[in-house]
Amino acid sequence: MKLTNSKYVPIMIMLFILVGLVLRFFPTEQDMKIQNKNQLSAQQNMAYNFFGTITKIRDGDTIEVDKTPIRLSGITCDEIGSSLG
């Protein structure tokens, strides 16, 4: 088979494209590590509902509920003792 034969060039191009697509969408070990890390992160960020008494306000975004520290997510507050705190 001669590679310069114009009859086989389209077949070779299609073969290279097919192999490239298969390799592109086949997950690598690094992709799997990133996916596992993202799944763990999502599990850690799950919201929990509980009831208790606020026993202390540490600063603008951290409180204690029954002596358990709770950091409030999604707000920006200056720390106590800073110029704006």
Q: Where are the domains of the chain?
A: 9-44, 47-85
Tens-binned pLDDT, residue by residue, of the chain (85 aa):
555 667 888 888 899 999 888 877 777 788 777 777 777 666 666 666 778 899 998 887 889 998 889 888 778 777 667 776 5
Give the DSSP H or E segment for 64. strand 62-65
Residue 41, pLDDT score? 64
Q: Are 55 and 66 in contact (CB under 8 A)?
A: yes
Take residue 11 and report the two structure tokens written for it. Answer: 């077949």
State pTM to two decimals: 0.38
